Structure formats: structure tokens, C-alpha cells
Amino acid sequence: MSNDNLIYAKSRILDILSELDDFELDNISQWMCSHSYRKDLEEKKCMNISEKYLKDIGNTIKAMVPFEAEMSSENIVPPTIGDQADCNAINTCHIDEFLYDEDEVCELVTNGKFNRHYCLECNSRNTKELILISHSMSRKSLLYMFRVLLPKDLEDKQVLDVGSRLGAVLYGAYYFSNAGSILGVEMNKDCCEIQERIITQYSMDNNRIKVIHSDILKRSDVVQSADVIIINVLDFFVDIEIHKQIWYFFKKYLKKGTYLVCNRSMADTLGYLDMFEEFMNWLSICKPGQLENEIFFDIDEQSELFLYTVN
């Protein structure tokens, strides 16, 4: 590290320390002086290495899919109920968070390849921010899911991603956890082919990670054997009736004790579908399984992930 870099690093540390009160400062001093921060630093570096695998995979997928990462074989329709019911073709844009993180989106905007705004009246400055949606989970969310939210040891567990799309959750489970079995069920064939290609290209152990091309409603067997089930919001992919059916199906087949991870609270999802009362006693909300790792994350950013167990 050059002298300039060292000065810059110290200056950044001082910026952070200057915002702390005496109690917080004492706590940080102890953490540094006891050298326990070294162990945390090693863990942080390991996480960065695992995250790099996912970044490389994302870059490989970018070359396989259109920029908007939606297939011509898909029928993606803005929902008519819920917190995304205001989305439409004019005010909404899909930018896949697994493929493009916040820094990459900024770079696209700077290079004029992506716009965050749309014009309300041509040639005027009367513009409005686009609603940005993502059909995939981001690397950061996946890291948080497997390194903070879920229990650490998943070795003899089966992880199931419902609607695995480009495979983001599957690769997250593969590189961020020790899950013994990782299954994705996806109804779109083109998406399944992308996942298969990535699994092969990155020489992943296909005894450990598998993709099934199917409607989840036809695979009660995999739902019954899942120990952890991950469900990203399905609103853009299913109509209200099918969405309700899916939740009745999970209620019927998920076994007691199964972990359920969602990126919207179940109270909201079931509330929008007008079926919350029927499901009230089905799930319990859980505390994160690896609270000691919260230190590696900006908790506010991850507040959209929810962990439940089936009662």
C-alpha cells in the first residue's frame, strides 16, 4: 500500500470513528485491540471470494440473455393487486439485480446505456423516476440469506428454489452454504437451459445442484422433501387464482419445521391475495440463524428478506 493509500485509509477510518459516541468508540477500540477483528476480516475476505464466483456467473449469463433478461418465451404481466400493482410497461423497467448490481447500474446510466427516468411530456424536463424491478435476487441478498438468515449447517438439508429462473438462488446456495442438495424448479424451458449451461460451464457438482423443468404444482414430491424453500415474489408470473393455488399447495405439502425464505412478508403476500386469515397459524417468523455474521452487512439494505418456519 502506498503512503497516499495509507493516508486515505486512515482518513476513511477517522470519518467513521468521528460519528461514534464514547460507548461505541470503546467497543470498537476493544474489537481492534483484542485482534478479534482479524478473524472477522478473514471471514469477510472469504465472503468476497465466494461473491466473486457469483459475479463471474452473472457476467457469463449477461452474454446469454437479452439486456432486460426476459425471454421471448415468457409471459410477464404486471400484477393487478399488491405493492407492485402500479407497475406498467411505461413506468417500469426490469433490470436484473443478479446481473447488474447498483454500481453497474450507475455505470450504465453514466454511459448512456440505461435511463432511470421517463418523460411525462416529450421534450420537457418534466420527467419521473422509473420503477425498477428485478426478477432475480441480488448477490448481497443471497449472501445475507445464506450467511445470516438461515442456520449455518445445511449439510444434510435440501434447499428448494421455487421458480429458479437464471439460477441466482441456486448458485448462492452452492457457493455460500454447505447445503447437501440444491434444487430449482422452473416452468420456463429457456431459463432451465441457461441454468444447466452454467452448472456445466462452472463444473458444479450435479449430484448437489439440479434444475427441474416443471410447474411447481406438479412436483409435490420435491416440496414435501424440502427443508428450506425460497420463494421470490411471483406476482409478475402468475395470475391471482394460480397464485392462491400455489400457497394452498405449499400449505398442504410443506412439512413441519421447513424454513421458508421470502423477499416480501407473508402477511403482505397473503393479505394482497385476501387469504391471510386462513394461513395465520401456518408459519412462525424466525430470528436469523447466524446473528454473529450481521457485522458483514448493512442490515437496512437486507430488511426485505423474511425467514419463517412451518408450524
Ligand X SMILES: C[S@@+](CC[C@H](N)C(=O)[O-])C[C@H]1O[C@@H](n2cnc3c(N)ncnc32)[C@H](O)[C@@H]1O
Please give the residue ranges that form the binding site for ligand X (CB under 6 A): 98, 135-137, 161, 163-165, 168-169, 185-188, 191, 215-217, 232-234, 237-238
Residue 45: count other Cβ atoms within 10 Å of its Cβ: 9
User: What is the smallest separation between the CB atom of 58 and ligand X, expressed in angstroms?
Assistant: 11
Closest to 75 in 3D by CA, of 195, 191, 212 = 191
Q: In the complex, which residue's CB is closest to ligand X?
A: 163
Do the Cβ atoms of 221 and 199 come closer than 8 Å?
Answer: no
- Interatomic CA distance for residues 92 and 84, integer angstroms: 10
Q: Is 40 or 193 the residue whose CB approaches ligand X more closely?
A: 193
Report the nearest approach of ligand X to the CB of residue 65 (Å): 12
Q: Among residues 150 and 168, whose Cβ is nearest to ligand X?
A: 168
* Closer residue to ligand X (CB): 216 or 307: 216
Closer of 183 and 283 to ligand X (Cβ): 183
Instruction: Quote the CA–CA distance of 16 and 269 in Å, as a whole number.
Output: 38
8 A C-beta contact, residue 201 and residue 60: yes
Between strands 181-186 and 158-162, the pairing is parallel
The least distance separating ligand X from the CB of residue 74, rounded to whole angstroms, comes to 7
Q: What is the closest distance, in whole angstroms, from the C-beta atom of residue 238 to ligand X in the complex?
A: 5
- 270: Cβ contacts below 8 Å, ≥ 6 apart: 247, 276, 279
Residue 150 C-beta: closest distance to ligand X, Å: 15
Q: Which helix (H) or strand (E) holds 283?
A: strand 283-285
Q: Which is nearer to ligand X, 93 or 234 (CB)?
A: 234
